[in-house]
Chains A and B, each alone.
Chain A
Amino acid sequence: MKAPFLALLCCLLAAAQGGAQGAPVRIELRDEKPYAFNYGRILSQAGFGPRVELYGTTIAGVRRLLFVSESAVGLSMDFALYNDGTLLDLELAGYDAQGRPLAASHRLRFQTGSDAERRLITQLQFSYGSFPGLNAIGPEGLERGDAEYLSRQINATYFAARASLLYALALVAWTMAALLIATALARKKPVGGASATGGDSAAPARMAALILALGAALSLTALAAFGPRPYLFVIEGAQAGGRVTAAGERYLKDYAELRWIATDGMEGGEAADYLGLRSPRGAALPLSAFDGYRYLLFSSQPLVVSDTAGMLRIGGGPFLAAWGLRR
């Protein structure tokens, strides 16, 4: 009686082991260009689980998260990653639609050849820190200097986070209105006839609380109507320094773009643009915002995320700076 039972158990264990290995998965990278976003596709015969991650290992052996998708549907998924020129291996992490681990890797071709533009982008630097107010620049715009000095000036003067006057004024108006309501209610005599001028009676406070609670509910509803918006700041031709003029603000569907032009840099031709990315409350900038750039150098590795619609974006995070060479 025992032998058939044991055989059946062995068969079941073998089947379970075979199943745990998962269906074949493949990473296809369309272009392997350093200092640029590289696009590709992941193919899985068993679909994808709720979260798929792509890690990269650099020549120095450092492992970094490069891409995250939390909305993969179907048997293939488009992805993108930023190749900083040191990437060597890609490794997939996650589960397929049946909960089995996904395992795939891809080795990048290390490109040694370089053109003048790529040589230029590798030499550009970023500031080690940004101190708003210390580098106040005059009407001439940027003081000339090396890339690191320019980066520090731009971060501190053009891209520095400042107090939002509009919101602060709305809060001042809110406080004034609340004080006026409380004063008006405290002057009124309560129904019982006792004086309430001292504000000690609970009636005016209760009425003020009700009015304020309604006002707060309305303002919170108004707040909920506005989603967070990512910002892209650009100084065209920043590498040349010198005079900088404002070139306007554009409020596009997915992000807002604020642009300045360093006029000296535009005349020279090859000068690099300096870019800043802000992602308030996880607002993620679409990758399409960088379509105009051939080479990009980021201050730190950007993480690419695929949103619920499958659109590729730079995941929300701390302020990110970049040097870019236009196509």
Chain B
Amino acid sequence: MSRLNGAMLALAAPPLALALAFPAGLDTALSPAWAAALPLVWAALVVCMAGAPSPALALGLSLPFSSWSLLHCSSWSLAPRPPALEALELLALAALFMSSLTLARLKRRGARLILAYALFIPGIALQASTGPLASLACAAFIAALAALTKGRRRAEA
């Protein structure tokens, strides 16, 4: 098995096992942002620790798990949530995931993971409390910071 396949299997197997065993339509559950973020948090862990080849690959593989989690584990609200709002929640989390991983370019795995989570987890908390637009803005800020850092590194080299 190639390293690529191994990393992908490590990424997909635990959420897949959860999806097979976990009951659908929980009565009391997580906020939509946390529910959708859990598979992405797991993906960030695999990317940083097990060395999955690409954060984009991890994102592509994890997003359907995030949408499943959003469908089955997100908490109740008074009125039905429009599907477009859920798509926006996922989009904002995906942007946050990518931006936090692209900024975390440290050599040590543990430090990379800590930096990724240090940006990602508060971003999720922000989205859970204030909505997806706030975390989209946060992701844009981190992405700009990542671009600036990359530009400075190139200039120094």
Q: A205-B54, A224-B83, A284-B78 are in contact. Are A168 and B19 (CB under 8 A)?
A: yes
Could you tell me the distance between the alpha carbons of A317 and B19 in the complex, rounded to whole angstroms? 22
Residues of A within 8 A of B87 (CB): 220-221, 223-224
> Does B3 contact A178, Cβ atoms closer than 8 Å?
no
At the interface, yes or no: A12 with Cβ under 8 Å from chain B?
no
A205 interface neighbour in B15, B19, B57, B83, Cβ under 8 Å: B57
Chain A interface residue count, CB cutoff 8 Å, equals 62
* Chain B residue at smallest Cβ distance from A174: B64
> Does B80 contact A183, Cβ atoms closer than 8 Å?
no
Chain B interface residue count, CB cutoff 8 Å, equals 47
Residue interface bits A180-218, CB-to-B below 8 A is 1, else 0: 001100100000000001111010111011111101100
Residues of B within 8 A of A175 (CB): 8, 12, 16, 61
Q: A219-B64, A318-B76 are in contact. Are A206 and B8 (CB under 8 A)?
A: no
Chain A contacts with B in 222-261, Cβ cutoff 8 A: 223-228, 231
Residues of B within 8 A of A206 (CB): 54, 56-57
Q: A281-B77, A316-B80 are in contact. Are A172 and B16 (CB under 8 A)?
A: yes
Min CB distance, B42 to chain A, in Å?
A: 14
- Give the top 10 A-B pairs by smallest Cβ distance, nearest first: A212-B60, A199-B4, A199-B2, A282-B77, A205-B53, A209-B56, A161-B23, A164-B24, A216-B63, A209-B57
10 A-B residue pairs with CB within 8 Å: A161-B26, A163-B20, A167-B71, A170-B64, A179-B9, A208-B54, A213-B63, A219-B63, A221-B87, A284-B79
